[in-house]
Every structure is written in structure tokens, then in C-alpha cells.
Amino acid sequence: MSTFIWIESPAWQLDFFGIPHRIPWPEGAPVPDGQHAQFDMAALLSGVESCVNAEPGLIGPWRGFLAAAQHFDGMTEALEDHEYSKAGELLAEIEKHHAESPYSLFHQAFIARQCGNDQEAVRLYAAAAEKAPGIPFIWDNLGTMLAENGNREQAIHAFMNALQTNPQDQVALESLVQLKAAVKLLRDPKDPKSAVVVPMEQFKAMAEQQLGQIEQHPEQVLAFGEQLLKDGLIPEVGVAALEKANAVQPDQPRVLVALGAGYRMLGKFEESKAAFSRYCELQPQDPWGPFNLAQTLNAMDDKEGEKAALAKALEVDPNIQQALGIHFELKGENDIEKENRLVAFAEERSAWMPLLIASSMARDRGDVATAVSYVAKAHERNPKAEEVLLQYAAMLGDAKDATTLEVVIQPAVSSGRYTKRLDWNYAQSLRQVDKTSQAIEALRRAQMGDAPADFKAAAESAIEHWTGLRAQSGAAMEVHGSGQLLRPLVLALEDGDGGMILNPRQALPAQHKFPWRADGNEARVKLQQGQTGIGGAPTSLGTFVVRNVTPATEGNTTVECRVEATPDGRLTFTAGQNGRKLPVDWEA
């Protein structure tokens, strides 16, 4: 019979499994020192088993832990295979023998998170952290959950707890940077690996020291202050820099604008008002001066002052969209009275932006003819403005006016003076007027040269949709507010769940390729979100049908499928065979 001894071990794994640090250990086996990631679990179980056999009346967690440990390997395999229903069953067995251990609570939390039950996951991670406060990865998971659900201060507290145990915890450090509770700095600007993470208080002290070193150089001080305000991390130091710049060069317009914005960030509204008011005196022809003043007056709840400042901004330039939206109290509603007031204002001031806003309002209430007439008038007043051309193209598509689209919009597109947004709107409108081939040609031309990569991808996706080579599910997926897939994307088979295509909590956008065996010249791929038996019933996303498959002369006919999921819950599907794209469709 194996012999054992009682030892004291500082290994953190003992806390995780919810057992004391005085443990039975095989005599002669290396004693765990707690400094290494690997822990000899087999030795521990051997020692516990010897202890239980030698001491039938043993009091403590040992018998329960030994029974629970029979399921640990199965748990690991189930989680690796994303079989969360099976993992839940194994956890229930573990709980019967060794209840409420940090191990069990942690994995229950993980499964709850994978099923989209964030509130329960937070509760369970917090309970695990309370029982084993010295384990950083428990705090990291708790902090991640809190951050994803908008609880910034609590998340920071969790990550700071992780760092108390392991100051080099990269998950905690990177998360604090994302939460703007720490800053990542490069010791060597040319070497990304030279990055160090600095707590915010330390970064503030460094910035104050740097300010002291450059205070005799006004331009450097000004640029330094503006950059700190732009970063938004330590605006108080940015304002201090700008105050120094203003003391050296008072009434410099650039400094006044930055100071006004900085004071407003700090809640110093009287100082912000004074800075912007002085700027307005010095630069009376800049409409953004009174507009910025209006924003500060709004923060001060000075309604009359805000109204007067907005009126002044529009007096200088009646085409400031933000000022128009606030001045006319536009809140997204289809208010025809406000629409008429915008049109009257546009006529009074010979303005074009109010007409664009009125055009959008008319379109939203279904009056396409009026929407087109407003934007046409705006085009007469400012025929070269991209904002006007963009909306004009969209309205002409709605109105099915192919003639004006070709006469007015096509020459602007061909000129090459505008961004790819105009190419996009023009192609979409051509599609609306049943000129799909011309729409495809327009996007193909726009993809050429140094077009942005995201535009090229969007254009290719649109072309595939229009030519039947891409299909979109009519059922939206469940997506977490943080932009993650809430539940897994799974193949739905006749006899139950199939393989997992996209993992739960995967950041979106995401895509995945997988093979599918076709039946003759057609393949039918059914997808669902969620797994049977866990986290609520699966939601059907419909069936994607692949056509024109070439049957294999021997063996299986394999089709390569690809799904793409976006943060807005859209799921699209494409398929190919031997390098050839195949037509696809979606069925509810």
C-alpha cells in the first residue's frame, strides 16, 4: 500500500480546488513549491487516496474531493470541445461531492457566460474570487465580465486585485489600458515589444514632469496640452499646459479654443464660457466659436444663452448641421412642421444644408417626391458639395429616376474628386433603378487602384449579393452589447446539434470556413444559434441552399462553405467548389 505524509504547500491550485494547504502527499514525491504553473495533480490524488484508505474516519474535504476529481478530466475535454451541456452535467456531479469550491464556481460562471447569462456569470465569478482571492485569472474573468457590461469602476477594482497577486498579469494590464485606467508607453518608438504599462497616477506625474521641462517653449506647451485633451486621459494636466501657453501668449485663438474645450471637460463651465466668449470677440467670422460657446452654455443649463449663441453661429454660417439640429430641436421624429420651418429658413438664408435635413425627413415619412425636390434645390445652391451629391444619389434611387442619376451623379463620380462613398451611393441607386450590371461595373471601377481595403471588401460583398453568390439570413443573431456573439453558431442536423461554427463570446465581425457534403448538385446547410439543453432552446437561423454543385465521380461531393457574422447580428453565407463560387440562397 502506498505511503503518504502530511505536508504544507503554498500552491495556489489548492485554493482553486477548495482544499487546505496541509495536504496528504506521496512519500518521496517532489513537494510543490507554488512557484510553477504545473502542479502534480496525479501525486495529490495518490496522496489523498492513500490517506482515505489509511484513515477510514478521516474528517475534512478529502473523500468528497477524491470523488469529484473523477470528473475533472471529463470537464476539461467537454470545455475544449465546447460541449457545455455535458460540462454542466459534470459540474452537477462535482457539486454533489465537493460543493461550492472556487473550481466549481469558476466553471459554472464560464458556462453561464457562454450561454449569455452575464448577471449570473458575474455573481459566480465574484463568489469564486471571494473564496480564492489570490488567484489572478479569477479576478481577470470577473473584470472582463464587468467591463463588457459597462461597470467600469468595478472592473478596474477587479483587475487591480489581480495585479496585487501578479504585478505582471498581462490580461489585467491590457484591460486597464482599455479602460483608460493605465497607459501603454513605448520605451523605443520603433519597437512594439518595448511597451510598458503605467498606472494613471504615475503617467500623470510623468506628464507634469514633462510639462515642467518644456514650459519655456510655448508652441511645445500648446501642442502638448492639445494632445493630452485629445487623448482624454488626464485633461487636468492638458488644461494646466494650455493655461501656461495662454499666460505667455494671451488671446491666441488656438489656445482659447483648446482652453474652452478643456475647461468644459473638467466641469469648469464659467472658465469655459469666458474662453469661448473671448474667442468669439477675436474671431467673429468663425461660426464654430458661438457653436462651442452654445455647448458650454447648454452644460450650464443656460437655455436662453445657448439659443442666442446657436442663432449667432447660424447667422455666420447657416449650413452647420449640428447647430441646425439643436436650433430646430430635431430629435429624429417626422415632424412636418419642423420640416417646413427648415425649408423656410433655407429660403430665407439661401442655405443648402437645411434642405438636406428636410429631404431626409420627407423621405422618412414616405414622401419621396418632396424629398427629391428639396435635395435638387440644395444641389442648385451647392452643386459640388459631396454631402449634397451623396443624398441626391440616394433620393434618385428611391425615386427610380435613372435619367437624372446619369445626368447629374455619374459625371461627379467619373471626375474622381470625391470619396468612395459617392461611388457606393451611385452603385446602390443604379441597382434600385434595375441597372444591376451598371451598378456592378461602377463598384468594380471603384475597387481599382488605392481604394481602402474596407471599401473593396464591402464592394465585393455587395456584388456577390447582387449576383446570387452571397446570401443573408433573414433571422438576426443574438449579439452582446460589447459586440460579441452571445450564443454559439451551430450546425443543425436531423438527429440533433452538429459542430460549432462560431464560438460563444467570439468578437465580431468573425468568419469561419467548413466543408459540407452535397447531395447531388445541391447542398442544404441549416444553422442555429445556441445548443440543445443549455441556455434556452436554440434559435433557428434558417437553411442556406447551395446550387450548381458538380457531383463527384467517386466518393463524396464536398463544398467549401463560409459564414460571416457582423456586430449588427447579420449572418451571410458563401460557398465554393474547386475554386469556383457557387450560387447560394436562404430559406426561412
User: Rounded to whole angstroms, how far apart are CA atoms 342 and 329?
Assistant: 11
On whether the CB atoms of residues 230 and 257 are closer than 8 A, the answer is no
Of 289, 347, 291, 280, give the one whose Cα is nearest residue 321.
291
Residue range 13-49, pLDDT digits in tens: 999 999 999 999 998 888 877 665 578 889 999 999 9
Alpha carbon 574 to its chain centroid, in Å, reads: 24
Q: HEC string of 396-447?
A: HHHCCCHHHHHHHHHHHHHHCCCCHHHHHHHHHHHHHCCCHHHHHHHHHHHH
On whether the CB atoms of residues 546 and 559 are closer than 8 A, the answer is yes
| pLDDT at residue 97, rounded to an integer | 94
On whether the CB atoms of residues 539 and 528 are closer than 8 A, the answer is yes
User: Rounded to whole angstroms, how far apart are CA atoms 71 and 49?
Assistant: 15
One DSSP character per residue, 238-277 reads HHHHHHHHHHHSTT-HHHHHHHHHHHHHTT-HHHHHHHHH
Instruction: Please name the residues in contact with 205: beta carbons below 8 A apart, sequence gap of 6 or more.
Output: none
The pTM is what? 0.82
One DSSP character per residue, 103-137 reads HHHHHHHHHHHHTT-HHHHHHHHHHHHHH-TT-HH
| pLDDT at residue 334, rounded to an integer | 82
Q: Which amino acid is at 277?
A: S
Backbone angles phi, psi at 65, to 5 degrees: -65, -40
Residue range 157-216, pLDDT digits in tens: 999 999 999 998 999 999 999 999 999 888 888 887 788 888 899 999 999 999 999 988
| pLDDT at residue 2, rounded to an integer | 63
On whether the CB atoms of residues 169 and 163 are closer than 8 A, the answer is yes
Equal CATH topology for 100-182 and 471-587: no
| pLDDT at residue 554, rounded to an integer | 61
Alpha carbon 133 to its chain centroid, in Å, reads: 30
Of 34, 43, 42, give the one whose Cα is nearest residue 16.
34
| pLDDT at residue 536, rounded to an integer | 81
Residue range 264-286, pLDDT digits in tens: 999 999 999 999 999 999 999 99
Task: Compute the average pLDDT of residues 129-134.
Answer: 96
Task: Compute the average pLDDT of residues 451-468.
Answer: 95
Grid coordinates belonging to 477: 443573431
Question: Poorest-confidence range of 142-156, 293-307, 343-357, 522-536?
Answer: 522-536
C-alpha count within 13 angstroms, C-beta hemisphere, residue 580: 10
Residue 149 DSSP label:
T
On whether the CB atoms of residues 543 and 524 are closer than 8 A, the answer is yes
Of 479, 445, 447, give the one whose Cα is nearest residue 460.
447
User: Rounded to whole angstroms, how far apart are CA atoms 367 and 377?
Assistant: 16
What confidence tier does 575 reach under pLDDT thresholds 50, 70, 90?
very high
On whether the CB atoms of residues 447 and 463 are closer than 8 A, the answer is no
User: Rounded to whole angstroms, how far apart are CA atoms 464 and 393?
Assistant: 22
On whether the CB atoms of residues 210 and 190 are closer than 8 A, the answer is no
Residue range 201-223, pLDDT digits in tens: 999 999 999 999 998 898 999 99
pLDDT at 421 over 70: yes
On whether the CB atoms of residues 341 and 328 are closer than 8 A, the answer is yes
Backbone angles phi, psi at 554, to 5 degrees: -140, 145
Question: Poorest-confidence range of 121-135, 139-153, 321-335, 417-431?
Answer: 321-335
pLDDT at 3 over 90: no
User: Rounded to whole angstroms, how far apart are CA atoms 330 and 353?
Assistant: 14
On whether the CB atoms of residues 320 and 295 are closer than 8 A, the answer is no
Domain layout of the chain by residue ranges: 4-69, 100-182, 318-382, 405-467, 471-587
**What is the number of other CB atoms lying within 10 angstroms of the CB of residue 18?**
21
| pLDDT at residue 34, rounded to an integer | 65
What confidence tier does 58 reach under pLDDT thresholds 50, 70, 90?
confident
| pLDDT at residue 494, rounded to an integer | 86
User: Rounded to whole angstroms, how far apart are CA atoms 489 and 569?
Assistant: 12
| pLDDT at residue 77, rounded to an integer | 95
Residue range 345-391, pLDDT digits in tens: 999 999 999 999 999 999 999 999 999 999 999 999 999 999 999 99
What confidence tier does 514 reach under pLDDT thresholds 50, 70, 90?
very high
| pLDDT at residue 89, rounded to an integer | 92
User: Rounded to whole angstroms, how far apart are CA atoms 169 and 526?
Assistant: 42
| pLDDT at residue 314, rounded to an integer | 97
Instruction: Please name the residues in contact with 286: beta carbons below 8 A apart, sequence gap of 6 or more.
Output: 279, 316
| Answer CATH for 471-587 from 2.60.34.10, 3.30.70.240, 3.30.70.330, 3.40.50.150 | 2.60.34.10
| pLDDT at residue 37, rounded to an integer | 58
One DSSP character per residue, 307-332 reads HHHHHHHHHH-TT-HHHHHHHTT--S
**The CATH number of the domain covering residues in 100-182:** 1.25.40.10
| pLDDT at residue 441, rounded to an integer | 97
On whether the CB atoms of residues 121 and 113 are closer than 8 A, the answer is yes
User: Rounded to whole angstroms, how far apart are CA atoms 237 and 234?
Assistant: 6
User: Rounded to whole angstroms, how far apart are CA atoms 201 and 205?
Assistant: 6
Q: Which amino acid is at 517?
A: R
Instruction: Please name the residues in contact with 543: beta carbons below 8 A apart, sequence gap of 6 or more.
Output: 524, 525, 526, 527, 586, 587
pLDDT, averaged across the chain:
93
Question: Poorest-confidence range of 28-37, 57-66, 94-103, 220-229?
Answer: 28-37
Residue 16 DSSP label:
H
pLDDT at 85 over 90: no
| pLDDT at residue 384, rounded to an integer | 96
